[in-house]
Every structure is written in C-alpha cells, then in structure tokens.
Amino acid sequence: MTSARTRPEYPGPDYPRPDRDRSDRWTSLEGTWDLDVPGGTVPIKVPFAWETPVSGVGRTWLERATYRRPIAVPPEWAGARPVLCFGAVHHRAVVRVDGVQVAEHVGGSTAFEVDLDGVLAPGATGTLEVEVQAPADKRDIPHGKQRSIPRDDYDSVSFTPTSGIWQPVWLEARGRTYAARVELRGDSLTGFDVAVDVVGDAPAGAVVTVEVTAGSGPEAGAGERIELVADARGSAVGRVEIAEPRLWSPADPHLYVLTVTSRSARGARQVADGEGPATDVVRVTDVVPDVVRVTGGLRRIDRRGEHLYLNDERVYLRGVLDQGYWPESGQTAPDVDALVADLEHARDLGYNLVRKHIKLEDPRWLHHADRTGMLVWAEPPAPSRFSAEAALAFEAQIPPMVERDGNHPSIVIWGLYNEEWGLDWDIPGSADRSAAVVRAYEALRAVDDSRPIVENSGWAHVRTDLVDWHYYDEDPAAWAANVAGLADGTRESFPVRLAPDFVARKSLYGSADHPRTGVPVLNSEYGAGFTSLERAWHLRWQTQELRRHDRFAGYVYTELTDVEHEMAGLLDADRRPKDRGGLDPRDVNADTVLVVDLVPAHAGADIAVPDADLALDVHVSHHGPNVVSGQVRAAWVPAGTPFAAAAAAAADDAAAAVEPWGVMSEAVEAKPFVLSPAVRVTVPPPGPVSSARLHLWLVDHGGTVRARAFVDAAPIEEPNRRGERWE
C-alpha cells in the first residue's frame, strides 16, 4: 500500500541517489549483462545477485564470475568527468574498461565509484568488466545474514547468500572540479554545518557555493547562501543559517535541498570576470561547474539521562526489525515501489522506527524514510568469526557507511556489532574482543558525533550510548518477571538460546565498569510463538509489559516480514498480512495503550470464562505531549469479534435506546511517559458461553477512543501429552 504522501517525485526516474541529486546527467547501467561463469557465459539481470531467481542465473555457491557489457559516455558530456558508480558489490570487485584495470574494491555492502576521465572519451564506447570474488567461506568477512560454507554459528538464522552486483550501477557526469563528499549536519536546529571535499583538476582553492534551493522561504524556494574556498587538501567547511528554521520530525518530515556548486579557482575567476563558458574544450573544462543537490533536515537526537529526546522533546521508540529480503530478489528490492511499500507497511502497523538489521539498505529507502518521517536504526553487516583481520574488515565499513548515509535525518541510531556476532559470543571473556568493540565505537564516534551508538546490540555492553537487550521467551509469566527485573535493575542477565542445544545466560553488561544507571535502556528484539496467532498473542501481551515500565526508552519487535525459513513476520514474505486473531498492531503500538494487570494463560484463552463478576485493574501508558484523561470501558462480545464491528452494533443499540455499551471505570489520568495508577473495571460474566472476548477501551472526556485492548476467555486446558511410548 502506498499513498501520495509516501511517493514524492524523484529527481530522476529511479535515480539511485536522490539525496545527492545529479539526475540531470546520468544513465543507468542496469539490465542484462553477460556473466562469465565456469563452463561458459550466461545472461544476468543487474543489479540482482546471481543466487536470485530474478537475476536469471539462480546459482548458489558460485565463488567467482566476471560481468561484461558495453559502456558509452554520451557525447553531450564533453567537458565533464564521467564517473562510474556502484551501490554495492559482494565481495571483492576488480573493474576494467577495455581490459585495463581502473579500480579494485573490497567490501560487499559499501558504495564505490570510478572516475573514467581519460579512460573513455565523450561519444566513445568501451567494454566494461567487473570481476567478482564472493567467497563461500564468509566467516572472516562482513556478510550479515548470508549463509556461509563452512557453516558458521548463525546458520540457523542465515539466508541465501547475496553475491556479485546487488545494488544499482550507473554512470553520471560531474564537473572537472567536483564535490566528492558533502556532509550536512542540522543538529543545531537553526542551520546546516557543511563540509565539502573537492577533487578533480584543481581542488585546492576551489570555490564552493552552498545555497538553500528548496524547503526554505515563503515559496519553499531560494534562500540562504554561502561561498567557501577549499584549502590545499580540497576541503571546505562552513555554515548555512536558516532564517526561519522548520524542523524535521516524524510528524513533520520537512526537508531542505542545498545546491552545492563547485568550480576551480580559475573557473570561478572567469565567471566573476563575466567571461562565461567558451566554445573551446579547454575553456569549457574550467568554467562548467559541478552541481549536486543534497537533501538534509534540521533535527537533533540526544540522550538526557535515561531518556531520548528528538528536537528537545522526549521520544519513545516503537520499532520493528526489518531484514530487507524479498522472495525472488534476495537483498535487492524488486523496484523502488517495494522499498517505499515496506516503509508504509511499518507505519500502517503503528511503528515509528525501523531497525534495518545488519544490512546497509539502498539509499533510496533511506531517502523515503526521510521524506515520510520514519525513524531508522542503521547498522552494517558483521563477520561471524573473530580475528584481528575480521575486526579490521568490520571497521573498514564505518567511514563509508557514514559518508554515504550520514546526511539522512531519519537515521537516529547507529548500530555496530549485533549479539557478539564476529566476536564468538564472548566479549566478557576476551580482552581482545572487548577492545575490538571499543575500537569500532570510537571509530564511528570520530566520524559522527551526532547520533547515539550501540556498540554491540543485545547484551554485553562495554561502551555504548544505549543499553539495549534482546530477549525471547514463550512463557508470559517469565517474560513479565524478567522484564520487570531489567527495568528496576534487580536483574542484569537473562537466558538466550544461541543454538538449539545451547542456552547461555547473557548480561546487559560486558564489563563491571559499565554504568548501571544514567544510560537509556531499551529493548531491540523480542517476540515469540510458532503460529501467526501465537505470535500476535505474544505481541499483545509482551508489548504491554514493556509499556508497563517507564524506564524503558523503546522497543523493537522482531519482525516486519517473514524471510525464507524464518516465519516471525507480521507480514509474510510477499508482504501479505497474517491471521492475527483480531489483533490490530496499531492498538499495541499506539501513543496511548492500556496495560492490564493480568498474566495470560494461552493464546486464545487469556483467562477461563468467568462465572461471576470479573474485576480487572487497568493502567494507561501515554507517550503524547499532553495529559490524557478519561474512563476505561469494558464489554463482552462473541469470541473473535473485532472492536469496530462490536462498536457498530452497540451504536445501533444506542439508537434503539438500549443502555450505553459496556461498564465504566472511575476516571483515570495519564501523564506523558508515566504509567497511570490502576483503575478497576468490574464486568458481569458473559453468560453461558464456551468462549468470549472482553473489549477494553479508553474514552476521553470528549468521547474519543484513545486506546483499545481485549482479553479472550475460553477453556484453559493442559497440554496433551498422551500417547508417548518408550520401548
């Protein structure tokens, strides 16, 4: 499902970097290439990994292959620099044009580019080759959820590998002296701090103009402008003040476009002297500027004690984990619409954050997160065995990750390692592993100090800005007790099933020196259940226990969609909704929710059908800016009846002068981010029925329904263990 709000116009049709727009002069290199494989040459559809069906190859464990296709620089690009851009190639890529090597890149998730100036003349056509090495043994290289041979510790939660070219490939024209890197930081909330690295013919002394060309002023047009001069290294820094700043937030995802124009010093002097572009190539190369339109937002995410603040307002993260896989195309989205749709799905389910799990997603996804106001937790893939070389390979991703994605206001958290993957599950027992985590944290902090960093998501924290935890439990009583202990600090460890036959107790802290208070604490993975009904049941009750405790700064449910054999999604792998037993996840993930003092028994049978009055204590958890007050109502309906259907029937009854629907509690008041005191709702039994549903809802004093929940009543049976025989 998409809407006009989530489908803004692109700078160019599917231009791969809409946040750094050079779409006026570019050409896509996607489509059919030749692929040399052992035994011959086959066609492959780029940019889909050669393991995927949509690539046309569908071949797993192919470790080496060479891509080939013609490449031409348009004649109208005379006087410009043609730059060949790769979104990502797993894992080692050697790029050749007409047999001559022009680049080599290592790193399966990081972008790279090749300046083809002097390699291909405007109007000329050559042969582009990309030789790729994709090791089957991925244990020592960053690979995230890709399966490895030999298998690694995470094989049970790994998927089909992604090898070769798997993100967009394109050719674009840039000026002779051009901006290779543009960094925008809007954390001041009053303007943008700008850093530009200029390369090309004459970077030293280049003149860089930065002008706000969209998002500012009465017509969202031209506005503030500065002019910078690059130093001897080609670096220029400055600040663009915004006269009437409009902040970026999920409620108002306002973006600015800053046009960055770069000229060599000579070219700038010619323009200043009024000479303008000449007809001869020498003069044109000096004068024609490089222009890139960069998108940014004014927003600040910071921590204050144990709370998170966005633009000086407290924020609670209601997140969902998203692994970014599609059935026919693997880690590559089938098209841009699919990227946009996944953001819309997350929003429709009530989430305000997506944790993109150990994958550097296509920049177009991040661009649409910016435009639609979805918060993002971003993190790179990790290796799966610890060694000095593996740790260095992991750290090598950090600067290019920030360079590519750091301008996106939607990214509010950087993650690094996940669950000690690539650290052999043993940070506390190894000084070398602990040091590697700290080194990664410091490397990321050195290139971006504007966001909180989670150095090892899940447990065993040694240096982190957020203490997050991953915990899965099928027992609702144990879940509630352990969550309460993590909230009040009486519990620091919890059981983690690391393999079918291996359960370990993991601690929040990997060091006795880590502070136990004063740092935000949040969940970043949870969920349970085998069937979709069970998973919806656990979503309902486990999330309410997270909302019960004001200390927590948020949660991340696992997960948005099914992936291959992993069937934990709220949606299936084709993005279709599952049977959730009448649960609307938006009720679970709302700003305002009800928290019921009840430990449920089983999916479909939270309680036995009462034969006398039932008294329930109910709290309100509210994360809006203002106090909410009202009364909790309750009413029995037939089992499985959705709230909307029951409310409609009640409205018909009210029109017929029947008593108002449901019983009512005393008045309740919920302050922002403080769980309300309990109010008691007492309802008569539902009558002689085998099962029923008790709807609970909060109605404010204006008659608006602010929160909804339900309790299912049915016979509670012990698990059937008959029929077991031992010889």
What pLDDT shows up at residue 436? 98
**Could you count the other beta carbons within 10 Å of the beta carbon of residue 233?**
10
Cα 542 to chain centroid distance, Å, stands at 22
Alpha-carbon distance of 295 to 451, in angstroms, equals: 18
* Adjacency order of strands within the sheet including 554-557: 453-457, 411-418, 375-378, 353-356, 317-322, 554-557
In the predicted structure, residue 659 carries a pLDDT above the cut 60 = no
Neighbours of 316 (CB within 10 A): 22
Q: What is the pLDDT of residues 448-486, one digit of tens each?
A: 999 999 999 999 999 999 999 999 999 999 999 999 999
Contacting residues for 127 by C-beta, under 8 A, at least 6 apart: 68, 69, 70, 71, 97, 98, 99
Residue 455, C-beta contacts closer than 8 angstroms, at least 6 positions apart: 416, 417, 437, 438, 440, 441, 461, 462, 463, 464
Are 353 and 466 in contact, with CB atoms under 8 Å apart? no
DSSP string covering 517-532: SSS-EEEEE----SSH
| Ordered DSSP codes for 481-541 | HHHHHHHHTS--EEEEEEETTEEEEEESBSSTTS-SSSS-EEEEE----SSHHHHHHHHHH
pLDDT class of 501 with cuts at 50, 70, 90: confident
Residue by residue, DSSP assigns 330-395 as BTS-SSHHHHHHHHHHHHHTT-SEEEETT----HHHHHHHHHHT-EEEE-----SS--HHHHHHHH
Tell me the sheet residues that pair with 322.
Answer: 356
b or e along 93-115 (b: 16 or more beta carbons within 10 Å of the residue's beta carbon)? bbbbbeeeebbebebbbbbbbbb
Element (H, E) at 682: strand 679-683
**Cβ 398 vs Cβ 441: under 8 Å:** no
Q: Which residues contact 177 (CB under 8 A, 6 or more apart)?
A: 198, 199, 200, 201, 202, 203, 206, 262, 263, 264, 267, 290
CA 138 to chain centre: 24
Return the CATH fold of 595-713: Immunoglobulin-like (2.60.40)
**Do residues 697 and 709 touch, judged by C-beta distance below 8 A?**
yes
CATH superfamily of 303-590: Glycosidases (3.20.20.80)
| Residue 133, beta-bridge partner list | 64, 92
337 DSSP assignment: H
pLDDT of residue 724: 79
Q: For residue 279, is pLDDT > 70?
A: no
- Cα(428)–Cα(422) distance, rounded to whole angstroms? 14
CA dist 347 and 535 (Å) reads 19
Q: Residue 429 contacts by C-beta under 8 Å, 6 or more apart in sequence?
A: none
- Three-state secondary-structure class, residue 239: strand
Is 12:26 a contact under the CB 8 Å cutoff? yes
Radius of gyration (Cα) for the chain, nearest Å?
Answer: 28
**Burial label, 690 (beta-carbon count in 10 A; 0-12, 13-18, 19+):** exposed
**Tell me, what's the pLDDT at 2?**
33
Contacts of 688 (CB under 8 A, 6+ apart): none
Determine the average pLDDT of the residues in 638-646. Answer: 89
CB–CB of 443/393 below 8 Å? no
In DSSP terms, 260 is beta-bridged to 210, 292
pLDDT (mean) for 152-156: 90
pLDDT higher than threshold 60 for residue 222: no
Q: Whole-angstrom Cα distance, residue 90 to residue 109?
A: 7
Fold exhibited by the domain 177-288: Immunoglobulin-like (2.60.40)
| Share above pLDDT 90 across residues of the chain, in percent, rounded to a whole number | 87
**Rounded Cα gap, residues 585 and 535, in angstroms:** 11
Query: Using one digit for the tens of pLDDT, what is the confidence trace for 586-599?
Result: 999 999 999 999 99
Average pLDDT over residues 235-263: 97
**How far is the C-alpha of 327 from the C-alpha of 52, rounded, in Å?**
9
- What is residue 505's predicted lDDT score, i.e. its pLDDT? 92
Query: What's the CATH architecture for 4-173?
Result: Sandwich (2.60)
Residue 458 near residue 469 (C-beta atoms within 8 A) = yes
Asked if the domains 4-173 and 177-288 are classified in one and the same CATH topology, the answer is no
Contact 592, 623 (CB under 8 A): yes
- CA 468 to CA 379: how far, in whole Å? 14
- Residue 459, phi then psi, degrees to nearest 5: 180, -175
Q: Does residue 653 carry a pLDDT above 80? A: no
> What integer pLDDT is reported at residue 650 of this predicted model?
75
Name 32's bridge partners: 45
The mean pLDDT of 36-52, rounded to a whole number, is 97
Distance CA 200, CA 115 (A): 9
Domain assignments of the chain as residue spans, ordered by start: 4-173, 177-288, 303-590, 595-713
Question: What is the model's pLDDT at position 282?
Answer: 38
How remote is the C-alpha of 273 from its chain's centroid?
49
Tell me the sheet residues that pair with 238. Answer: 194
CB 635 within 8 A of CB 603: no
d(CA 286, CA 200): 11
Q: What is the pLDDT of residue 655?
A: 47
| In the predicted structure, residue 12 carries a pLDDT above the cut 60 | no
pLDDT > 80? residue 287: no
What is the rounded distance in angstroms from the CA atom of residue 467 to the CA atom of residue 522? Answer: 6
Q: Where are the beta strands (DSSP E) in 186-305?
A: 191-200, 207-214, 225-229, 235-241, 256-263, 290-296, 301-304
pTM: 0.94
Tokens at residue 624, please?
Answer: 């809006």
> Given the structure tokens 């700008």, which residue do they identify?
194
Mean pLDDT of 265-280: 59
Q: How far apart are CA 323 and CA 571, in angstroms?
A: 13
Beta-strand relationship, 453-457 and 411-418: parallel
Extract the runs of DSSP E, i.e. beta strands, from 585-662. 592-596, 614-622, 628-638
What is the average pLDDT score of the chain? 92
Instruction: Give the integer Cα–Cα distance in Å for 585 and 588.
Output: 5
Q: What is the pLDDT of residue 347?
A: 98
Model confidence at 426: pLDDT above 90 = yes
C-alpha span between 75 and 72 (Å, rounded): 9
Phi, psi of 468 (to 5 degrees): -110, 160
**What is the model's pLDDT at position 217?**
60
**71 falls in which pLDDT band (50, 70, 90)?**
very high
- In percent, the amount of the chain with pLDDT more than 70 equals 93
Whether the bond into 638 is cis, omega within 30 of 0:
no
Two tokens at 512? Answer: 């006795």
How far is Cα of residue 76 from the mean position of the Cα atoms in its chain? 39
Distance CA 375, CA 522 (A): 15
Q: Are 331 and 365 in contact (CB under 8 A)?
A: no
**Residues 310-343: pLDDT tens digits?**
999 999 999 999 999 999 999 999 999 999 999 9
Amino acid identity at 445: R
Segment 348-354 mean pLDDT: 98
- For residue 137, pLDDT over 80 is answered with yes
